[in-house]
Amino acid sequence: MKYKIDKKLGSGAVSDAYLLDNGKVLIIGKREDSFSTYKALYEKMKHLIGKITALN
């Protein structure tokens, strides 16, 4: 599948975040260890799916 990047959301020390045309966020790591960092974060966050109603 191909998605169009609508806009860059931000840039951090280990990654850049982009908003895709389907409403999802794409995170592109800049360092070798960024995948394992985000995988660990994903594992923690997936337990919250459906429980978050708003973010500030």
d(CA 30, CA 21): 22
| Predicted pLDDT of residue 21 | 92
Report the domain count for the chain: 1
The answer to whether residue 42 sits within a structural domain is yes
| Predicted pLDDT of residue 7 | 94
The answer to whether residue 33 sits within a structural domain is yes
Structure tokens at 2: 């191909």
3-state secondary structure the chain: CCCCEEEEEEECCCEEEEEECCCCEEEEECCCCHHHHHHHHHHHHHHHCCCCCCCC
Q: What is the pLDDT along the chain (56 residues), one digit of tens a residue?
A: 788 999 999 998 878 999 999 988 988 877 777 677 777 878 888 877 777 676 65
- Please indicate, yes or no, whether the overall pTM of this predicted structure exceeds 0.85: no
The answer to whether residue 53 sits within a structural domain is no
Phi, psi of 4 (to 5 degrees): -95, 135
The whole domain housing 33 covers: 5-48
